[in-house]
Amino acid sequence: MIEWFKTDGIFFSKWLSKFIKQLSLKAKCNIVEYSIYLLFYIIKKKLNYCPLYFFFECIEQVRPIIGIRLYTQKFKKEIKILKVIPYQLKGHSRYNKAAFWVSKSVYNRKETEFVMRIFNELYGIVLKYGGESLKRKKECYEQAFLSKAAKKFKW
């Protein structure tokens, strides 16, 4: 099935529109889009940097290569993980997962203004001092590495 996406109004970017769509799951789309464009204005004025390049640099650093498939089983109101299998993600899935992780970490931040939440998360990703989404990527890789080792050295 082919998905058709409406590109955003100014930059005509498919991945930026997916990021806006991911952020607008909890808020109104118009507010999120206005916040993104205000964020781009702040990036341009404060950092003297191309805002779209800044955004794509963040997405590229968060974008995972390996995904994890969990096989679980419910057992008396508990979820028990049976197997963890790593697999290689395809191109569009990498960007979707990166946009999902960044949007989720934006909502978990504690700043009051929505624009500053997004700015601080993206700024932390670019400077590599550690955004929540980069930590999630590292955790995913560690889990994939451990499950690969466990699968290889079964007793």
Q: At what angle do helices 51-62 and 132-152 cross, to 10 degrees?
A: 30
The pLDDT assigned to 15 comes to 79
Mean pLDDT of 16-31: 80
* The pLDDT of residue 6 is above 70: no
Query: Which range is least confidently modeled, 29-38, 74-83, 103-112?
Result: 74-83
Confidence label for 154 from pLDDT (cuts 50, 70 and 90): very low
5 alpha carbon, distance to own chain's centre: 18
Whether 61 maps to a domain, the answer reads yes
Overall domain count for the chain: 1
* The pLDDT of residue 14 is above 50: yes
Q: Please name the helix (run of DSSP H) or strand (run of DSSP E) that holds residue 138, with its range, or none.
A: helix 132-152
* The pLDDT of residue 5 is above 80: no
Q: Answer whether 121's CB lies under 8 Å from 135's CB.
A: no
The pLDDT assigned to 1 comes to 46
Residue 99 structural domain: 14-152
* The pLDDT of residue 19 is above 80: yes
Whether 4 maps to a domain, the answer reads no
Q: In which residue are the tokens 């080792």 written?
A: 149
> What is the model's pTM?
0.78
Q: In which residue are the tokens 């109104």 written?
A: 28
Whether 3 maps to a domain, the answer reads no
Share the mean pLDDT of the chain.
Answer: 81
CA distance linking residue 133 with residue 139, whole number of Å: 10
CATH assignment of the domain containing 58: 1.10.455.10
